[in-house]
Chain A
């Protein structure tokens, strides 16, 4: 009994019990699951990933045919999830910063309107909004047969927006490489110029030089590479539109829903961040003669950014996880594709394990990236 009064032995005992309990439960679940699966004649393991999928995915961010494998289908789901969440984060951030600044405006009409916007979005479930936007799109726009032709070749109907698409026979890769090279060059050049300005005080037309750096590789490729591209103009048939690039209502509804909900959260974060910057900073900038807009841009926002970035990371992660609500309106994201696979193969455990692992992995990746950014903007203590 006296052994039990030794803190080290007690610690060892508690930890052994905790780990033992977890291992025991896991083993119990594993053994019953494998017994149940064997009884129900469901295959186990990840062999199914190499089999032919055989189902259609309406929206594919990367090339996919029903003859491709289940593994490829999951990749399409991941690509769709990343596509919609990245776009929602991008638009949501811009909108959210504007709304957050509007909330602090001295103009009472603007600040109240922005408050109403934020409250309306934060107090109603996102899923409800998704369904609402989706049925709004479906009910407001006419059916395909009476599609509105907004511009020549651009059709708007309740099955989405169809517009002319560019079909690249060759040269697309070269142009993409040129874009990457140009962007990198522009970043490098503007950094060198900034360092020179700090060292010597000489002003250079940075924007013009950067634009030139981006455009030059493009121009070279356009002049010398073999580029052939054709325009694929959609045609209105009797029942459906054929050809062209199709923006589907599921995607639009999901993008709108995620963007708006992200923007409301980001607006609150931005507002809190700006309010956390001490009032003396405003007064000092005013004393220097800076107008309000420049004070905000040059003095307040850079400081507010340090407070904003950690909660912003959480919002980005939330957007990414909320994109899984796509299944409710039928946008083929990772969860919906996995659900289809689950129904076809019966391998629920594997399918769920895959999509949970993907979400977990991407969540960690996003946090790492945002932490890296946060370390960059953080205050350098002496």
Chain B
């Protein structure tokens, strides 16, 4: 016992006399802690300051807020009268001027419905039925007209932001079932089905979207029997659907692979056949896993719909471009339109990006 006491005393003596000096970490040290760090901070602040000065100068200080094209030409800043004069064209394209409340209503309704559908608690069969039976037909009726005393408007006059929304939303909605089917085909145990699935997916993913759009707009009419012509808008839409389906298939495949094999075997031992196993056991688990990456993919497709402007459809980017080519404003407003379009695209993409991160968080905390 005495020995033990001595041992304890010894260790007390060997303990350090003082704690190491506490590092004086203030908020400043994060910015100017070391010389290298200080240089980084100063360079970054300088960059931010320079960019802000340029932006404020162009956007506000030197900008013209009301005036004629001639006044804009004299100034070096932005020309905001261009936007106010062209805003309705930029948003709605060649849609008949007096009827433009219709695409506006349709767009607001669509965005409102999307906003409600983004809440995970509303998800279910009822929501899908409401979309298919109520919302989409109403939107189409509003846009196309022809009934209830609405003037018919052919799709060639559709344009602007509603068209961009339509191409990306309908594109993804139709591509989703096709993509799931392709993913199942790729995971199939039947060699011929698997080869067809892999072939389609890899070919579409190996070529740029623009080539598929070209195929749909230039080549497809050659493949159609006499007398059958398909609307140009529909052709571009089909191209986008096929393109999106291949990418969705790859994402869904990741989800399918994440479902343990025991789930399928359990299904077999219950005597369920293939489709029952897929529909009731595998797909619900797989799809839940891939919802966040699917939203991420959707951001990409929303941006990719701008490519239809190359094959001559009047999407949002195209109305911006053609507005700038208006003889009255040509050479005067060269950047304003693009900056405005960039802000619009940024707003919707960033919103969806935030939603994707929210979903990731939501699924991490609420499901297994």
Interface residues of A (CB under 8 A from B): 11, 14-16, 18-19, 22, 29, 32-33, 36-37, 105-110, 113, 119-120, 122-129, 131-132, 135-136, 138-139, 321-322, 324-325, 327-328, 335, 339, 342, 348-349, 352, 355-356, 359-360, 363-364
Contact = CB atoms under 8 A, between A and B. Distances in A.
B193 A108 contact: no
Given A22-B196, A349-B219, A32 B225 contact: yes
Interface core residue of B223, B334, B335 (most chain A CB under 10 Å): B223
Interface in B21-74: 30-31, 37, 40-41, 44-45, 47-48
Interface stretch (B129-137, B171-179, B299-307, B359-367): B299-307
Given A124-B346, A125-B345, A324 B222 contact: no
Contact of B40 (A14, A110, A126, A342): A110
Interface string B202-221: 01001111110011001100
Contact of A36 (B47, B210, B222, B303): B222
Contact of A15 (B190, B306, B321, B349): B190
11 contacts: A22-B196, A108-B31, A125-B317, A138-B334, A139-B335, A321-B209, A324-B211, A349-B219, A352-B211, A356-B215, A364-B206
A129 B307 CA distance: 12
B193 A127 contact: no
A114 B40 CA distance: 12
Interface string B318-329: 000100000000
A135 B44 CA distance: 27
A131 B321 contact: yes
A328 B320 CA distance: 14
B346 A33 contact: no
A109 B44 CA distance: 7
Which interface class (under 10, 10 to 19, 20 to 34, 35 or more) fits B? 35 or more
B208 A359 contact: yes
A81 to B, nearest CB: 10
Nearest to A138: B334
Classify the secondary structure of B's interface with A. Answer: helix
Contact of B208 (A132, A139, A335): A335
Given A33-B223, A113-B44, A132-B338, 7 more contacts: A16-B192, A107-B31, A119-B350, A125-B306, A132-B335, A328-B309, A348-B219
Interface string B335-368: 1001101100110011001000000000000000
Given A127-B309, A139-B334, A342 B218 contact: yes
A130 to B, nearest CB: 10
A107 B210 contact: no
Contacts of A363: 206-207
Contacts of A355: 211
Contacts of A15: 190-193
Given A321-B207, A324-B210, A342-B218, A107 B193 contact: no
A110 B41 contact: yes
Contacts of B41: 107, 109-110
In order of increasing CB-CB distance, the 5 nearest A-B pairs are: A15-B192, A123-B349, A125-B303, A321-B208, A324-B208
B303 A106 contact: no
Contacts of A110: 40-41, 44
Contacts of B306: 125, 127-128
Nearest to B303: A125
Given A11-B190, A14-B193, A113-B47, A124 B342 contact: yes
A129 B353 CA distance: 19
Contacts of A131: 317, 321, 338
A18 B196 contact: yes
A328 B310 CA distance: 6
A128 B344 CA distance: 11
Contact of B193 (A18, A29, A139, A324): A18
